């Protein structure tokens, strides 16, 4: 239905996006450059006991050729964000109304499964942490790449085999002509992940979503895969969403970074800015927990406590119980992303301490007002107010 997005459709979506935008972070302004635009994404899982708000109002965009790093502790909602973009959220999970994922100007969240398949086949491809979850043990690596080539590019026979070999060469697999007929178990961990990347490239995607693609690999191999991804990006102009819990890896791969905590993005900034000038107390804590190679003797700090499971709409700051800088209002007001100071549109933090150059009370009021506008209670038809 939405398959052939025309210019008018795109314009309509842009203007409706503008209306629903909170005025603090006007992402729609730069939507023109953004190949992938995620807006107010809410993905919940209904379990017997509770509803887990795994992704709770996440917004970000990725420009052409850019890498956005998505970082956060285990359970913060990174993988669910990736699966939501890919249309891979199944029962008991669902995207709540108002969630938007636009790819190349086209809304994906209301596509049918068939429509999504075509997006996954040609627009957006995903690389998972464990290559064995993607590769089928009973087929040769070549067969699997050829199948992708046949599905997405209509290649078959010798053409498909030749292209598969070329892809394996592209991802740095030596002796590709021979290895194309080997089985996944004959590949090492690093070579398997390269093969998975070759499979993803078989679709000639514009966006690559990588969910901890190097976490299972040892450090040397990890560095090689990261280099491969950056080479491929330069070569194919890929946009990459790179998910990891490792701040060290993020520093190497990302152009921009989004820090996730308990289902929300708590800080977003260009990579150098984030490392040199982190603002959210959670980001500061994460950065203090990176092992520093220069000062080997220095003790590593970790953030005490655990990520809470977001099982209610937030009415406070979910990080407050672990935050060294929390004050009274943090328990009563839900912070939304705001510029960290006036004019800092590309550096936002969801923390009541910001904007830093605003009097504390005014800043808190600004968060409270934005939260009221945003809340499902005020947006829904019930008119009920839980506050």
Ligand X SMILES: Nc1ncnc2c1ncn2[C@@H]1O[C@H](COP(=O)(O)OP(=O)(O)OP(=O)(O)O)[C@@H](O)[C@H]1O
5, 45, 63, 151: which one contacts ligand X (CB under 6 A)?
45
Q: Is 54 in the site for ligand X (CB under 6 A)?
A: yes
Would you say 79 or 283 has its CB closer to Ni ion? 79
Handedness of CA 221, 227, 232, 235 (dihedral sign): negative
What DSSP letter does each residue of 16-34 carry, written as one string? HHHHHS-TTS-GGGGGGGE
Q: Is 76 in the site for ligand X (CB under 6 A)?
A: yes
Would you say 249 or 353 has its CB closer to ligand X? 249
Task: State in Å, rounded, how far the first CA of the chain is from the last one.
Answer: 40
Q: Quick check: 267 and 348 in contact, CB under 8 A?
A: yes
Q: What's the rounded Cα separation, in Å, for the pair 54 and 275?
A: 26
Q: Is 100 in the site for ligand X (CB under 6 A)?
A: no
Residues 229-268 that bind ligand X (CB under 6 A): 245
Burial of residue 10 (number of CB atoms within 10 Å: 0-12, 13-18, 19+): middle
What DSSP letter does each residue of 310-336 carry, written as one string? --S--SS-TTGGG-TT--GGGGT----
Contact range with Ni ion by CB under 5 A, out of 34-42, 70-78, 130-138, 264-272: 70-78
Strand blocks (E) in the chain: 34-46, 51-63, 67-71, 93-95, 100-103, 106-107, 124-127, 207-211, 239-244, 256-261, 264-270, 338-339, 348-349
Q: Is 99 in the site for Ni ion (CB under 5 A)?
A: no
Which of Ni ion, ligand X, none sits in contact with 295, Cβ below 5 to 8 A by type?
A: none
Q: Is 78 in the site for ligand X (CB under 6 A)?
A: yes
Would you say 129 or 239 has its CB closer to Ni ion? 129
79, 100, 214, 239: which one contacts Ni ion (CB under 5 A)?
79
Which of ligand X, Ni ion, none sits in contact with 245, Cβ below 5 to 8 A by type?
A: ligand X
Closest contact distance (angstroms) between CB of 99 and ligand X is 15
Q: Is 134 in the site for ligand X (CB under 6 A)?
A: no
Q: Is 100 in the site for Ni ion (CB under 5 A)?
A: no
Q: What's the rounded Cα separation, in Å, for the pair 182 and 143?
A: 9
Q: Is 57 in the site for ligand X (CB under 6 A)?
A: no
25, 31, 52, 148: which one contacts ligand X (CB under 6 A)?
52
Q: What's the rounded Cα separation, in Å, for the pair 41 and 63?
A: 18
Q: Is 318 in the site for ligand X (CB under 6 A)?
A: no
The residues binding ligand X (CB under 6 A) are 45, 47, 52, 54, 72, 74-80, 93, 245, 309
């Amino acid at each position: 239905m939405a398959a052939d997005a025309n210019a008018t459709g795109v314009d309509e979506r842009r203007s409706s996006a503008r209306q629903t935008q909170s005025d603090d972070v006007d992402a729609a302004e730069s939507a023109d450059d953004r190949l992938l635009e995620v807006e107010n994404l809410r993905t919940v899982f209904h379990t017997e006991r509770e509803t887990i708000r795994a992704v709770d109002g996440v917004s970000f965009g990725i420009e052409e050729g850019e890498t956005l790093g998505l970082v956060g502790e285990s359970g913060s909602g990174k993988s669910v964000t990736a699966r939501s973009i890919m249309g891979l959220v199944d029962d008991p999970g669902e995207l709540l109304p108002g969630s938007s994922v636009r790819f190349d100007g086209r809304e994906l969240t209301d596509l049918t499964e068939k429509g999504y398949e075509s997006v996954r086949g040609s627009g957006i491809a995903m690389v998972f942490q464990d290559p064995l979850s993607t590769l089928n043990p009973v087929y040769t690596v070549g067969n699997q790449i050829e199948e992708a080539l046949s599905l997405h590019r209509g290649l078959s026979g010798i053409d498909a085999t030749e292209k598969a070999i070329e892809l394996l060469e592209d991802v740095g697999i030596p002796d590709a002509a021979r290895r194309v007929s080997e089985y996944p178990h004959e590949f090492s961990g690093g070579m398997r992940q390269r093969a998975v990347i070759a499979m993803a490239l078989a679709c000639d995607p514009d966006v690559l979503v990588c969910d901890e693609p190097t976490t299972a690999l040892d450090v040397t191999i990890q560095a090689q895969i990261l280099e491969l991804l950056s080479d491929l990006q330069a070569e194919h102009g890929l946009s990459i969403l790179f998910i990891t819990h490792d701040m060290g890896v993020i520093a190497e791969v990302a152009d921009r970074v989004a820090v996730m905590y308990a289902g929300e993005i708590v800080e977003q900034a260009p990579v150098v800015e984030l490392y040199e000038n982190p603002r959210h107390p959670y980001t500061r804590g994460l950065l203090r927990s990176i092992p520093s190679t220069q000062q080997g003797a220095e003790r590593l700090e970790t953030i005490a406590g655990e990520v809470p499971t977001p099982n209610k709409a937030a009415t406070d700051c979910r990080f407050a119980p672990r935050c060294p800088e929390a004050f009274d209002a943090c328990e009563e007001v839900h912070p939304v992303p705001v510029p960290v100071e006036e004019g800092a549109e590309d550096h936002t933090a969801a923390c009541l301490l910001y904007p830093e150059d605003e009097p504390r009370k005014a800043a808190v009021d600004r968060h409270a007002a934005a939260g009221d506008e945003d809340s499902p209670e005020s947006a829904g038809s019930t008119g009920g107010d839980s506050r």
